[in-house]
Chain A
Amino acid sequence: AQSVTQPDIHITVSEGASLELRCNYSYGATPYLFWYVQSPGQGLQLLLKYFSGDTLVQGIKGFEAEFKRSQSSFNLRKPSVHWSDAAEYFCAVSGNQFYFGTGTSLTVIP
C-alpha cells in the first residue's frame, strides 16, 4: 500500500537559517513525488515535483528536494528561510491515487 510519512509535525527555525523537512514514502514502483505549501486560509500550491531523472529537483521560492530511493525519502530543503516561508508543508506520492502526508507546520522566528 502507498503511504507518506512526515515525521515532524511542527518545526521552528530562525529567519536566515537552513531548513530541511522530512518525507518518507512507501510505494512499490518508482514514485511520482511532490511537495506542496499551504498558507493559512489558502489552498495548496505546488512547490516541486519528481517524476524521473535527476534526483535533485529545484522548485519555486528557492526550495529544492532530493529523491533517495535507498532511503525511500524525498526531503525538502531551503538554504536560507524567509519569514514568508511560514506555512504548512505537505509531501505527496502519486500512484493509483494521490496520497498526502499529514503535514509539517513551519514557524519562522525573527
Chain B
Amino acid sequence: QVQLQQWGAGLLKPSETLSLTCAVFGGSFSGFYWSWIRQPPGKGLEWIGEISHTGSTNYNPSLKSRVTISIDTSKNQFSMKLSSVTAADTAVYYCARVADLRYVWGTYRYFDYWGQGTLVPVSS
C-alpha cells in the first residue's frame, strides 16, 4: 500500500520561505510524477506543481516565480520551497502521487495517493 507522509515548518512570518518534504512508502517511486497541492482554509484546491522521478518539473504559472520542487530518489522523498510568503499563502499543503494511464486513444492523469496535509499559517 502506498503511503505519503509529509512534514515541514509550521507558523511562518511574511517574507519567509515555506519548506515541506514528502516521503513515499510502498509502491514504486520511479516512473511517477509527484505533486504539491494547497487549500486555503475554507476554500478550494490549487495545484502548485509537479516533479518527475528524473527531476523534470512543471509549475503553476501563478506561483512559478516563487516555487521550487526537488526530488531525492535515494530517500524516496520530494520537497517544495515557496519563497516570500504572505498571508495569502496560508493553506493546508498536500503532497500527492500522479497516476498516469496511457492508452492508444489518450493519456489520463489523476492524483491517486495523498499525504495527510500540513497546515502552514503565515502571520506577523
Do these two chains really belong together in a complex? no
Q: Which residues of A contact B (CB under 8 A)?
A: none
The residues of B with any CB-CB pair to A shorter than 8 Å are none
